[in-house]
Homo-oligomer: A and B are copies of this chain.
Amino acid sequence: MAKKPSEQQRERSRPRKGVDVLDDPSGPTRPPTLETVAARAGVSRATASRVVNHLDRVAPHVVASVNAAIEELGYVPNQAARSLARRRTAVIAVVIPESTERLFADPFFATVVQGAAAHLRGTDYTLNLVLGSDQEDKSRRYLTGGNVDGVLVVSQHEGDLPLTRLGLSVPIVFAGRPAVDFGEHGHFVDVDNRAAAATGVRHLVERGRSRIATIAGAQDLAAGRDRLAGWQDVLTDAGFDSDLVEVGDFTPESGTVAMERLLDGPEFDAVFAANDQMAFGAISALARAGRSVPGDVAVVGFDDDQFSRAARPTITTVHQPAREMGAVMAAHLLALLAGERVDQVTVLPTRLVVRESS
């Protein structure tokens, strides 16, 4: 039994330099392999593998002894070897295109990623962070080169890695409908930004506001454009002017600045900001300008992130299920990886959360 087949090899590669184990004074020890486990349990590698992968048709007592061996040796499967043999990597890439990278600090994105990570916990999939590269080609190569099983794209501007086309041969799920048109490739998890925004603006109308400004988000982002359109829709329906538009970039700072510009212009009694961070910034500017919220100006944001709760007054906002979006994205990707069919576009519900600012 267990005739170490690689004793010689082991000998030769012992004196490796450089990447030596920093902690272990007893010298570089190689982690236990399936072979080791099998030997210890007195079974073949094949059987040990079956146990590790929870395949049936293994006698219970064998399962027990293999598991014992695993425990004693502290065996962990070598993922590289497994990937090679299985021809799948168990890696899911999270792509944050360069143009969105700046927004990485936005709680929204972080929350989406968290949701995805939470959903993947328990599976053996691993998240690989691909932050926008100037060498788009390099990341593209990486993604297409069979190094990942699937791709999650969190937000995409127009023109960002047009991953949908041009043979990215693995399943891919986007957060948000892509700005570019897409064929049959790609799957999307989104909210109806236009309708959701309209809900928020309609709320302002119902509150009796009629001069409603907006601080729009980045217009090269579908979410930015759609929320602006939703705002427009309601004002048009109500027969109000929709001339008060300032465009920000979703950062609180841009919200502040946008509000300062609005304050320089004609009067208004409400503002709809395309996200909470900008709403937060806007409230800051309003406070400094001596305008009361919601007295003088009512404010509605979008996202329902922690900033809407942190502001004083707390911000009325359109709740977006960021965490759930991440989870659904992950779920859909897993389904696609399992060969199942999945709706190409999934729209999650939003809801208005009324707080103090309106």
Q: Which residues of the partner chain B approach A78 to less than 8 Å between Cβ atoms?
A: 84, 145-147
Q: Which residues of the partner chain B approach A339 to less than 8 Å between Cβ atoms?
A: 17-20
Partner of A311, one of B16, B22, B284: B284
- Chain A 17-60 interface residues, beta-carbon cutoff 8 Å to B: 17-24, 31
User: Is A144 on the interface with B (CB-CB < 8 A)?
Assistant: yes
Assign chain A's interface to a size class. 35 or more
User: Is A66 on the interface with B (CB-CB < 8 A)?
Assistant: no
Q: A169-B21, A339-B18 are in contact. Are A79 and B305 (CB under 8 A)?
A: no
Q: Which residues of the partner chain B approach A77 to less than 8 Å between Cβ atoms?
A: 145
Partner of A185, one of B22, B89, B288: B22
Across the interface, name the chain B residue whose C-beta is closest to A277.
B310
Bitwise interface map of A from 228 to 270 toward B, beta carbon under 8 Å scored 1, else 0 = 0000000000000000000000011101100000000000000
Partner of A80, one of B84, B94, B118, B337: B84
Across the interface, name the chain B residue whose C-beta is closest to A309.
B253
User: Is A353 on the interface with B (CB-CB < 8 A)?
Assistant: no
Q: Which residues of the partner chain B approach A21 to less than 8 Å between Cβ atoms?
A: 169-170
User: Is A62 on the interface with B (CB-CB < 8 A)?
Assistant: no
In the assembled complex, the Cα of A170 lies from the Cα of B28 at a distance in Å of: 11
- Chain A 86-111 interface residues, beta-carbon cutoff 8 Å to B: 87-89, 94, 101, 104-107, 110-111
User: Is A180 on the interface with B (CB-CB < 8 A)?
Assistant: no
User: Is A355 on the interface with B (CB-CB < 8 A)?
Assistant: no
Across the interface, name the chain B residue whose C-beta is closest to A28.
B169
Tell me, rounded to whole Å, the shortest Cβ–Cβ distance linking A24 to chain B. Answer: 6
Interface positions of A (Cβ within 8 A of B):
13, 16-24, 31, 74, 76-81, 83-84, 87-89, 94, 101, 104-107, 110-111, 113-114, 117-118, 121, 126-129, 131, 133-135, 141-142, 144-147, 149, 167-171, 185, 251-253, 255-256, 277, 280-281, 283-285, 287-288, 305-307, 309-313, 336-339
Interface pairs A-B: 6 shortest CB-CB: A76-B145, A252-B310, A105-B107, A80-B83, A288-B312, A18-B339
